[in-house]
């Protein structure tokens, strides 16, 4: 990259880009050769002249293969050469969001000129996406809703608005948004998955299971749908089926740490005795999710069943001292464990703390599902 910048700044001889460069890029991307794709990106950026269509096509291809850094360079070159082109600026801003450079994306989109209704709607949608990434959820919701109203058949518009509504806790709104999107795209696994998540977060477990099962029917490899159907089955209290579903997904190669929690915790609810295996599974979940309160509670139970009271106590102390001091059930269990360990003062203090706390308002397992469904993609 430094050599390329130097070449541009020093005015070295530049060569025109051939349309064949797109075929070469397609070939590199099909092979999964990121180095070749990067070299072709450098060639494209250094070329002169280079057409708008070639730059736009190359940027789209790179972004579709998650090579966002290279895509951003190509789109930036396109914007530099064709500053009035809305699509180039829109795509650059979208790529910058994918690179977690939302402030730059905002500045890029602010310079866009829209000349058609569809461009104005697209700009509204992307502005909402950027605002959501910056934490301005109220304005983001307003812009995303306006964009969806202008283009009710846009699948990603419904998905983005629905996910934001889930994130801010507006579950009823989210269900309506996903249902509206499904009227136009009844087999969309992404809209079905969003609908299923909203139903689960409202406690509509059976409806959620049906929606996520339909999403899996349309896309059997959808790992997030595998997690959702297993987790929702677990929340419904069907631990045997949850263990079966989560186990099948894990054996199929889905290593999601939330799925490991569901599998291990279901087994503990079923009084399984493979404690070493369950503790190992929870170790892996906690390694990936160091603030997972239900994971520590589950591992504490496994240690207790093994008779390892110090370790069982230590896991609950992580919860009460570092992660969630208002979790009454953790204090309740700690009081019992301190008593077993003949630590009467600590048992009395834990019991007193439990009685100080108001009745639990949060289902920690359900809250863990919310975290799983709304996490940022890696």
CA distances from 13 to 10, 81, 288 (A): 9, 18, 50
CB 286 within 8 A of CB 299: yes
Reported confidence tier of residue 58, pLDDT bands at 50, 70, 90? very high
Q: Select the more confidently predicted residue: 16 or 345.
A: 345
**Whole-number Å distance between alpha carbons of 21 and 42:** 11
Long-range contacts of 103-106 (CB under 8 A, 24+ apart): 103/134, 105/130, 106/130, 106/134
Reported confidence tier of residue 21, pLDDT bands at 50, 70, 90? confident
DSSP letters, 245-270, are HHHHHHHTT---HHHHHHHHHHHHHT
**Whole-number Å distance between alpha carbons of 152 and 198:** 20
pLDDT attached to residue 17: 56
Reported confidence tier of residue 47, pLDDT bands at 50, 70, 90? confident
Return the percentage of the chain with pLDDT > 70, whole number: 92
pTM of this structure = 0.80
Q: Which of 256, 255, 257, 277 is nearest to 267 (CA)?
A: 277
**Whole-number Å distance between alpha carbons of 244 and 234:** 10
Write out pLDDT tens, residues 156-201. Answer: 999 999 999 999 989 999 999 999 999 999 999 999 999 999 999 8
Residues contacting residue 334 through CB under 8 Å, at least 6 positions apart: 313, 316, 317, 320, 346, 350
Burial class (CB in 10 A: 0-12, 13-18, 19+), 355: exposed
Please compute the mean of the pLDDT values over residues 56-78 and round it to a whole number.
95
Q: Which of 121, 126, 125 is nearest to 108 (CA)?
A: 126
- The CA-CA-CA angle for residues 211, 212, 214, to 5°, reads 65
Write out pLDDT tens, residues 99-120. Answer: 999 999 999 999 999 999 999 9
For residue 10 the two structure tokens come to 């020093």
Q: Select the more confidently predicted residue: 210 or 369.
A: 210
CA distances from 143 to 165, 180, 232, 305, 367 (A): 13, 17, 31, 53, 27
Q: Which of 339, 290, 340 is nearest to 315 (CA)?
A: 290
Q: Tell me the average pLDDT of the chain.
A: 90
Q: Say yes or no to pLDDT of 4 above 70.
A: no
pLDDT attached to residue 95: 97
Helix (H) or strand (E) holding 295: helix 293-305
Answer left, alpha or beta for residue 375, where phi above 0 means left and psi between -120 and 50 means alpha. Answer: beta
Q: Say yes or no to pLDDT of 378 above 70.
A: no
Residues contacting residue 44 through CB under 8 Å, at least 6 positions apart: 17, 21, 50, 54, 55, 58, 74, 77
Please compute the mean of the pLDDT values over residues 266-280 and round it to a whole number.
95
**Whole-number Å distance between alpha carbons of 200 and 67:** 34
Dihedral of CA 186/159/88/38: which sign?
A: negative
Reported confidence tier of residue 15, pLDDT bands at 50, 70, 90? very low
- The CA-CA-CA angle for residues 283, 254, 368, to 5°, reads 55
How many CB atoms sit inside 10 A of residue 274's CB?
Answer: 12
Q: If you count them, how many residues does the chain have?
A: 378
Which residue, chain included where needed, has tokens 């109220």?
138
Phi and psi at 238, nearest 5°, equal -90, 75
CB 132 within 8 A of CB 161: no
Mind listing the domains of the chain with CATH numbers?
1-6+17-111 (1.25.40.10), 114-183 (1.25.40.10), 273-371 (1.25.40.10)
Write out pLDDT tens, residues 206-254. Answer: 999 999 999 999 888 889 899 999 999 999 999 999 999 999 999 999 9
Q: Say yes or no to pLDDT of 323 above 90.
A: yes
Phi and psi at 33, nearest 5°, equal -95, 85
pLDDT attached to residue 39: 94
Q: Say yes or no to pLDDT of 43 above 70.
A: yes
CA distances from 333 to 141, 254, 357 (A): 41, 32, 14
Q: Say yes or no to pLDDT of 371 above 80.
A: no
């Amino acid at each position: 990259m430094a050599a390329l910048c130097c070449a541009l700044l020093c005015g070295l001889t530049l060569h025109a880009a051939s349309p064949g460069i797109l075929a070469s890029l397609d070939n590199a991307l099909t092979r999964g050769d990121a180095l070749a794709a990067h070299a072709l990106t450098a060639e494209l950026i250094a070329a002169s002249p280079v057409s708008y269509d070639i730059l736009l096509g190359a940027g789209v291809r790179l972004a579709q293969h998650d090579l966002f850094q290279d895509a951003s360079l190509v789109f930036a070159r396109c914007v530099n050469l064709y500053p009035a082109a809305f699509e180039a600026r829109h795509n650059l801003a979208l790529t910058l969001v994918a690179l977690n450079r939302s402030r730059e994306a905002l500045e890029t989109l602010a310079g866009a000129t829209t000349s058609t209704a569809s461009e104005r709607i697209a700009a509204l949608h992307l502005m909402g996406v950027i605002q959501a990434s910056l934490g301005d959820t109220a304005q983001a919701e307003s812009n995303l809703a306006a964009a969806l109203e202008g283009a009710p058949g846009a699948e990603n518009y419904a998905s983005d608005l629905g996910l934001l509504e889930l994130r801010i806790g507006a579950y009823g709104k989210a269900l309506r948004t996903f249902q509206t999107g499904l009227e136009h795209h009844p087999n969309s696994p992404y809209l079905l998955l969003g609908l299923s998540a909203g139903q689960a977060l409202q406690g509509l477990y059976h409806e959620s299971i049906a929606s996520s099962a339909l999403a899996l029917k349309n896309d059997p490899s959808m790992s997030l749908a595998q997690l959702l159907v297993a987790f929702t089955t677990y929340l419904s209290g069907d631990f045997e089926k949850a263990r079966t579903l989560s186990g099948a997904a894990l054996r199929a190669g889905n290593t999601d740490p939330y799925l490991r929690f569901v599998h291990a915790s279901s087994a503990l609810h079923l009084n399984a005795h493979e404690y070493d295996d369950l503790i190992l599974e929870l170790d892996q979940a906690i390694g990936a999710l160091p603030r997972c309160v239900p994971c520590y509670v589950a591992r504490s139970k496994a240690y207790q069943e093994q008779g390892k009271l110090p370790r069982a106590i230590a896991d609950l102390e992580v919860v009460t001292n570092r992660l969630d001091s208002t979790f009454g059930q953790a204090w309740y269990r700690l009081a019992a464990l301190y008593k077993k360990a003949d630590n009467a003062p600590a048992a009395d203090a834990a019991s007193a703390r439990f009685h100080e706390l108001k009745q639990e308002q949060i289902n920690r397992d359900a809250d863990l599902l919310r975290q799983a469904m709304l996490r940022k993609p890696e």
